Amino acid sequence: MRANLSWWTCRRDSAGVGLLRKFDLIVIGSGSGLDVAVAAAEAGMRVALAEKGPLGGTCLNRGCIPSKMLIHSADILEELKGAKRFGVDVKSYTVDYASIVDRVVSYVDGESKSIEESLSSSENPVLYKGLCRFTGIKQVNVQGETITAEKILIAAGSRPKIPSIKGLRESGFITSDEALRLRTLPDSLTIVGGGYIAAELAHFFSSMGSEVTIIHRNDLLLNNEDQDISSSFTKIASERFRLFLSSEPVSVERTHQGYRVLVRNLKTGMTEDVRSSQLLVATGRAPNTDLLDVGKTGVTLDERGYIKVDEYLETNVPGIFALGDVIGRYQFKHAANLEAEYALRNILEPERKEKVDYSAMPHGIFTSPQIASVGSTEQHLRSLGVEYIVAKWRYIDSGMGKAIEDHEGFVKFLFERDTMKILGCHIMGSDATTLIHEVIVAMKGGGTAFSILDSVHIHPALSEVVQRAASNFHLHR
């Protein structure tokens, strides 16, 4: 490597042998951690960046980007299939599934390779490609070399969580990692899990032509969403997929025809065989802390294996910070990007540290229909004993909602009773992930219902449904 000799220290590593290469900052993970590494280097710090997988992190390689590119193809197919209700008769079309996947893989791999090539020729930050482990206090071994720094940022992300099911691990199942690169479209697909990853992939594969079955432990899909969203989405999904709700897989068997999953209903105890040509496990995410041996550097984990950090993203070990999926707060790329801004500031200026402001943190689910949410759910407010006001409006009762024939969509507001402050907003329907941003901006400024009501909305743009929802309130105690 090309760094000058002043980057080395004569202090031996924890094993008592070899020299340590000393940096000002070590960043583990090249997702949002990459932004911190590059910015810190530009600020004059000597930075090492360690990454075991493709450059760009989960979002670029195994998450947001490839999934949304695939889902866009699914959305186009839905438009084609529904075109007749608008007087457009699409006589015929073909789906080139392999081409759809190749487009995504080519783009993602190209972007990742470009990042790696740029970093490989960089003297600062210095790229270490490979799995790294802590070997002592603020000591990291990667590529057979031990490096150290007074400040370390752990942004190592997460991976699919695999449940304990008899026969599962030896069955050859896939997770979202493999599903986003699956070269052959399965005739039938069983999905274990009912969260947002399961919902998005069910939408994609069903649109492509797969028969989809979902097995979920809860009564409702997307059960972490507001009750009206999860209830409405489950009803829609039941008309599109085969659902086994309040159910769990007991065992998995690989057969010549595909997969056999024995499913037990948690309420009745009855079992049923579910057969499909492919099996996808989408039961959540697990932090990558176990791969890093973080205990050897003294960092404390919670009972689920996530790194404990304070309001400044600093761990119990001064100088070691963490962000993103590995801390388990908000497992969204936009949340990790926000945390990266604070982590950089707090690393560069420790005497002027700032607490992370998570207010009005939104999220979106790119299924069909789209779902977007910000703030509290109704069930959460009830659990707190908060007096709140509900305000709702259906898409179909607005001009553009009728134009696009969206009969399922709605906007739901939750307001504080006395002040009309916006406590939450939940949208299901066309362009939900775009419409929510008006509410995010209002909430970030401490807005009330009148922040929405007093703003002039273009008629008959779809955003009118947000304004109309804000006006249609009634008291809930």
- pLDDT at position 6, please? 41
CB 29 within 8 A of CB 289: no
> pLDDT tens across 146-173, in order?
999 999 999 999 999 999 999 999 999 9
* Among 226, 223, 215, residue whose Cα is nearest residue 282: 215
Among all chains, which residue has been given the structure tokens 């032509």? 209
Residue 357 CA to residue 339 CA, distance in Å, equals 9
Q: Which domains does the chain have, with CATH numbers?
A: 5-60+101-159+286-352 (3.50.50.60), 176-283 (3.50.50.60), 369-476 (3.30.390.30)
The pLDDT > 90 percentage for the chain reads: 94
Torsional class of 258: left (φ above 0), alpha (ψ -120 to 50), beta (otherwise): left
Identity of the amino acid at 257 = Q
DSSP 8-class letter at 184: S
The structure's pTM equals: 0.94
Q: Return the structure tokens found at 297.
A: 């550097």
Residue 465 CA to residue 454 CA, distance in Å, equals 14
Among all chains, which residue has been given the structure tokens 């304990």? 164
Per the annotation, the verdict on 72 as an active-site residue is no
- pLDDT at position 18, please? 56
> pLDDT tens across 403-453, in order?
999 999 999 999 999 999 999 999 999 999 999 999 999 999 999 999 999
3-state secondary structure of 330: coil
Among all chains, which residue has been given the structure tokens 């099911």? 165
Listed range (79-93, 103-117, 252-266, 463-477) with the worst mean pLDDT: 463-477
Among candidate residues 72, 334, 363, 459, the one labeled active-site is: 459
Alpha helices (H) along 319-448: 333-348, 378-384, 399-403, 432-444
Residue 451 CA to residue 440 CA, distance in Å, equals 11
> pLDDT tens across 242-255, in order?
999 999 999 999 99
